[in-house]
Structure formats: C-alpha cells, structure tokens
Amino acid sequence: MAVLDDLSGFEFEDVMEDVFRNLGYENVRQADKTADEGRDVMMEEVIDGTRRGIVVECKHTSTVGRPVVQKLHSAIATFDFDGPKRGIVVTTGRFTGPAEEYAQRLRQNDDPYPIELLDGEALREIADDIGLDLYNGRIEILCDETLRPYDPATDVDTPVREAFRDIENVAAADVPTPYSRVQFRPVVAITADADAVFETSVGVIHRINDRTRFVVHAERGRPQIADDPVATLVTENLHATVELDAEQFAQSFDDLEERRFGQTQTEYKEWAVERLQDHHTATVTYTGDNNVTYDRTCEPNLSDISVQSIEPVYLPEVRQTIELGEYSYPYEYYAAGPSRVTRDDGVHRCVHCETDGVDETYTYCPNCGAIACDSHNKTERLEGEPICTGCAVTERFALKRKYFYDEENLEAFREEYAEMPLLEKAMENKLLAGGSVIATLLVVVGLLLIGGIM
C-alpha cells in the first residue's frame, strides 16, 4: 500500500498542514482551494531572529518533475510577504532527476527563493517523529510533558494543610498526613484564527477577524471545553512543564494514574474547526439597494478557520484526603506547581449541613472529628471546649440545653449541678435568670405604685 494511498489531494494538503504545524512552523494555513497558483500551504519560520515566509506545494503523486518545482519558484516570487522567502515541495512519491537538479542549482546559486524537496522517504522519517499514521493521515498525540503536580519548593501536602489554617480549634501542623492521589489528565490547548468577509451588492455586511485560544479536556468521549480558571491555569504554565516521570512522582504520591488521550490530534483539530464555525456563525440584518431590510446568516467556511497550534499536555488532578475522627475530608484541585484551581474543598464545608465556602467560620470538634459551621458548633459545658451538635450528649439545666462530650461528662455535671447554690443554678440559664430579675423588679415597682409609695 502506498503512503497515504486512501487520501485525496486536498486531504493530503490537510495532513501536511498538520505536519508542518507539529514541526514548529508558525502561522500555518492553506491557500484558497479554488485557485491554483502553485501554493497549497503557507507558513512562517523564525531563524536567528529573522522571520521568513514559506510556500509549500503538496503533490500526492508517484513522481514529481521539474515543472512543478519551477512553478513553485514563480509562486514564491509573487507571494506577498515582507521578508525573505523560500519554498518546499512535498510528495508521497519521489522526485525526478531534473527536479532535484533544478532545486540544487537554486541553492548553489544563492537564489533568493531556494526550494527544499521532501519525498516519501523523508515523509516517513517525519512521520516517526510526530506520530503520523501514514496510512490514514491521522497525527497521533505524542506527549510526555505535564504541568507540575506540586510546588517543588514545598511539601506535597501543603495545599490541604493551608486549607486547615482557616479552621478554628485545630492547628494545621497537628493535622495528620493526608492520603494523596494524582491523576494526570490529558488536555490540549488550541489556538485558531477565523478570517472571513461577507459581502452583498451593498458591500461588506459582516467581517470575522478573530484569534481564539481555549483548552479542551482530551480524554475518551466527546471533547469538553475547560472552564476559564482551568484554561488560564494551563495556558499560563505551558512554559513550565516537566517530564511525566511516573516512577519519580510515585515517590511523592500514594497513588498515581496516567489517563490516555482519547483521540488523535487530527480529530481534535477537526472538532475545533467545526466548533469555531458554529461559534462564529451569526445572523446579520442589513438594508439592500432597494431599501428593503434583509436577514442573512453568515457562516464561515471551514477553510476560513485556521488552527495555529495544538499543544498537548497533562494536567495533574490531585486529591488529598485527611482522616479526622469519624470523618474524611477531601481536598481536590488541578495543580501547576504553586498554582492550582480547587475542584472540591471538603475542608471548608460543614459536615452537618450544606454550608460551605471559605467565607464562613468553621470549628473543629475534637470529640468526633467533625468540622462544623457556627450553627452546628457549641461549647461543651464541663470542659469549655468546642463540640458539634452531631455528637454531643444533651440535657436541660435551668430550662437551657447543655452540651457534653459523652454520658460520663454529663453525669459529672449532674453531680456538680446538684451541689450548686440556687443562684448558681439559676445562672446556668443567664437569659432566664436575667428575665426573672427584671420581672421581680417590675412586680416590686407595681406594688409600690399601688401602695402609693411611689
């Protein structure tokens, strides 16, 4: 079977666009397929600070002769680019002797528009480097880079200990070592340009000129757009990736899992183009020459959308669990070194109700290990320490409910209460005692008024 045998000429151009993008060329885009000017793909490269334009001719044929190379040379000369330019002819087959001689002579003569030839054998070598399936034209995702799963300047469990700093009645240093699990989840950062103009007899009615960058969760199933905080976390840390060394990270985490990319890079590109086509489709209202108002749906062509880069990387999802008494507290987040986006904060959450969030006050109950909000936090009567309503033993004294760690504490207070003077017993319900004093004073005043004393 020949290389890329099942692809059409246009499909081969699509593949080569992806190939050159993966090789690091910039602003890779296809020419208008309706015009045959000897240009299939245009792109740019930067070498030693100099930006150069490149025109590519793609030939999905068994042989390529000198006329193709000559035609490309003319196309380079007319290519509108402010700077040095060169050309590339790429084929799934081979080049004839005259074609190779012509390209070699251009280089030897220091022609301003040199041309590089890439034949099927060279294409095979490139395919090995970038993960290209030569038989179906799909580029696989080859990625061994990840965002850092923890800040190398601190301990792995620092984030969850920091969360406990907000919890009253417990010191973060006294919190036990959490169980730490990390999942390396695949994502791709996609950058794409959309450029389209819509005209009628009255002129331009709509124009699209937009660059979009978004991050996609890239596991099995339909791609999912990452929300803004996660997208920002990824894009701002792509420059600081490290090798995904499972053996090394296993020394820091109790459990480790590496998820696989669900689709090929080519499939993510096609999905992104279709999504952006839908995103940029708009209905425009305009007035025609006859002074009649019209509505027109302006949908960009797929060729109007050019994917500039697809950057795969692993995004660590860390889940740390701390066991305190009867309760487990999960703290889950996406990590990128010292930066993170919290997914599940089980520390700032009352175990007895739906109260959560870092703006609330929470108190640790040493009796059962609960973290409780103010509504479910009381003071243990005998010891004067916090206790949650979930584990407390209760009983009324002076008509007021009192909270105790257990039956033993309750019994100890019963004995203490029995020995109290009446006034002290009354003060076990200060509100009731205060109300009684006020009521007594009112009665006395009333009697004095009745007796004419006041």
10 Å CB burial of residue 318 (0-12, 13-18, 19+) is buried
Residues 259/260/265/271 CA torsion (nearest 10 deg): -70
What pLDDT, on a 0 to 100 scale, did the predictor assign at position 443? 46
Number of domains in the chain: 4
pLDDT cut 70: percent of the chain above it = 92
Residue 1, pLDDT above cutoff 80: no
Query: Is residue 14 a part of any domain in this protein?
Result: yes
404 and 437 belong to one structural domain = no
What pLDDT, on a 0 to 100 scale, did the predictor assign at position 358? 93
Query: Is residue 438 a part of any domain in this protein?
Result: yes
What pLDDT, on a 0 to 100 scale, did the predictor assign at position 3? 65
Domain of residue 374: give its range: 348-419
299 and 155 belong to one structural domain = yes
Distances (CA, A) of 411 to 378, 393, 397, 416, 418: 19, 11, 12, 9, 11
What is the H or E stretch that residue 95 is in? strand 94-95
State how far the Cα of 64 lies from the Cα of 105, in Å rounded to an integer: 17
What pLDDT, on a 0 to 100 scale, did the predictor assign at position 449? 57
What pLDDT, on a 0 to 100 scale, did the predictor assign at position 435? 47
Average pLDDT over residues 56-81: 94
Length of the chain (residues): 454
77 and 113 belong to one structural domain = yes
What pLDDT, on a 0 to 100 scale, did the predictor assign at position 196? 94
Residue 134, pLDDT above cutoff 90: no
Residues 249/252/256/259 CA torsion (nearest 10 deg): -40
Which token pair is 428?
Answer: 């076990």
Query: Is residue 253 a part of any domain in this protein?
Result: yes
State how far the Cα of 329 lies from the Cα of 26, in Å rounded to an integer: 47
Q: Predicted confidence band at 34 (pLDDT cuts at 50, 70, 90)?
A: low
Average pLDDT over residues 376-396: 96
380 and 274 belong to one structural domain = no
pLDDT cut 90: percent of the chain above it = 81
Among candidates 339, 389, 306, which has minimal Cα distance to 18? 306
415 and 428 belong to one structural domain = no
Query: Is residue 136 a part of any domain in this protein?
Result: no
Q: Last residue of a domain, which of 130, 159, 183?
A: 130
Q: What is the pLDDT of residues 104-126, one digit of tens each?
A: 999 999 999 999 999 999 999 99
What pLDDT, on a 0 to 100 scale, did the predictor assign at position 355? 95
1 versus 204: the higher-pLDDT residue is 204
Query: Is residue 334 a part of any domain in this protein?
Result: no
Query: Domain containing 47 — which CATH number?
Result: 3.40.1350.10
311 and 437 belong to one structural domain = no
Q: Last residue of a domain, which of 319, 336, 360?
A: 319
Query: Is residue 270 a part of any domain in this protein?
Result: yes
Q: Predicted confidence band at 431 (pLDDT cuts at 50, 70, 90)?
A: low
Average pLDDT over residues 418-423: 91
43 and 102 belong to one structural domain = yes
Please name the residue that has the structure tokens 């860390």. Answer: 318
Average pLDDT over residues 252-270: 95
Residue 436, pLDDT above cutoff 70: no
Residue 400, pLDDT above cutoff 50: yes
Query: Is residue 337 a part of any domain in this protein?
Result: no
Residues 363/365/368/374 CA torsion (nearest 10 deg): -50
Which token pair is 264?
Answer: 């090929």
289 and 150 belong to one structural domain = yes
118 and 200 belong to one structural domain = no
State how far the Cα of 68 lies from the Cα of 203, in Å rounded to an integer: 38
438 and 370 belong to one structural domain = no
Average pLDDT of every residue of the chain: 91
104 and 195 belong to one structural domain = no
Query: Is residue 190 a part of any domain in this protein?
Result: yes
CB-side neighbour CA atoms (13 Å) of 158:
14
Average pLDDT over residues 136-164: 94
In this structure, what are the phi and psi dihedrals at residue 71, rounded to the nearest 5 degrees? -65, -40
383 and 447 belong to one structural domain = no
